[in-house]
């Protein structure tokens, strides 16, 4: 089965074409180019490099979040458009799990971390090898996350380009239990996204309309609106 993988949940961009267990073409980049400009050309590039036509794609995998609202929306919109127009199944995978897959052969629990601004993060913890969930994807202040990690009382590998923002604090709180993944593992790979999607059941083709991003928190504009509504009620 030929898969198209689309990962735009955060600043890095990755797109891949995978045929069964073989990566035919992949783009991974972390440059100052918005996904609204860069994503579609990258998709066209990997399809062309793989010697395929869009109609040859048999399934689509997309990073469903959490992450940048705009990035998640762009990837999901592109994926849903491809899935609907080609009448192919669409599988969503956590952006945090996609990151963790880069380090699946490590000997430590894996903490994927994405900056959510104002000392907040999106994070999850997975077992190495199986990538079974230890701490589910969630949104928290960095202090709250570190409290949870301290309770695990085990070595943890931190992965993701945003780890640098917090690693001094992480080391201060966790000491030698905090291990930094090599920078070469920090960018999500669409081929890993596809590999994870291949382990999941294929949804019905018509289910594409029901597919929604997993933001793990409401947008700031929505939060502000809720605050205003509460003020008016009082």
pLDDT tens per residue across span 33-61: 788 889 999 999 999 999 999 999 999 99
**pLDDT score at 206:** 80
How would you classify residue 160: left for phi > 0, otherwise alpha for psi between -120 and 50, otherwise beta?
left
Q: pTM (2 decimals)?
A: 0.91
In three-state form (DSSP H/G/I as H, E/B as E, the rest C), the secondary structure along 98-163 is: HHHHCCCCCCCEEEEEEECCCCEEEEEEECCCCCCEEEEEEEEEHHHHHHHHHHHCCCEEEECCCH
Number of C-beta neighbours around residue 212 at 10 A: 11
Asked if 78 and 39 count as a contact pair (C-beta separation under 8 A), the reply is yes
What is the pLDDT at residue 223?
Answer: 45
> In angstroms, rounded to a whole number, what is the distance separating the alpha carbons of residues 101 and 110?
9
Q: pLDDT tens digit string along 65-115?
A: 999 999 999 999 999 999 999 999 999 999 999 999 999 999 999 999 999
**pLDDT band at 171; cut points 50, 70, 90:** very high
């Amino acid at each position: 089965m030929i898969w198209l993988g689309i990962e735009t949940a955060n600043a890095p961009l990755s797109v891949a074409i995978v045929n069964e267990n073989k990566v035919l073409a992949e783009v991974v980049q972390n440059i100052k180019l918005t996904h609204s400009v860069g994503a579609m050309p990258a998709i066209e590039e990997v399809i062309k490099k793989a010697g395929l036509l869009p109609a040859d794609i048999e399934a689509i995998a997309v990073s469903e979040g959490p992450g940048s609202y705009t990035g998640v929306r762009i990837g999901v919109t592109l994926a849903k458009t491809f899935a609907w127009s080609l009448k192919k199944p669409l599988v969503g995978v956590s952006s945090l799990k996609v990151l963790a897959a880069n380090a699946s052969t490590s000997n430590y629990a894996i903490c994927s971390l994405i900056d959510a601004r104002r000392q907040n993060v999106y994070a999850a913890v997975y077992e190495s090898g199986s990538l079974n969930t230890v701490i589910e994807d969630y949104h928290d202040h960095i202090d709250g996350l570190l409290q949870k990690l301290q309770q695990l009382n085990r070595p943890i590998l931190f992965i993701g380009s945003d780890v640098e923002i917090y690693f001094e604090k992480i080391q201060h709180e966790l000491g030698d239990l905090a291990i930094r993944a090599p920078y070469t593992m920090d960018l999500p790979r669409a081929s890993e996204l596809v590999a994870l999607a291949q382990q999941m059941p294929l949804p019905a083709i018509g289910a594409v309309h029901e597919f929604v991003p997993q933001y793990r928190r409401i947008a700031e504009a929505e939060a502000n609106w809720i605050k205003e509504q509460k003020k008016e009620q009082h």
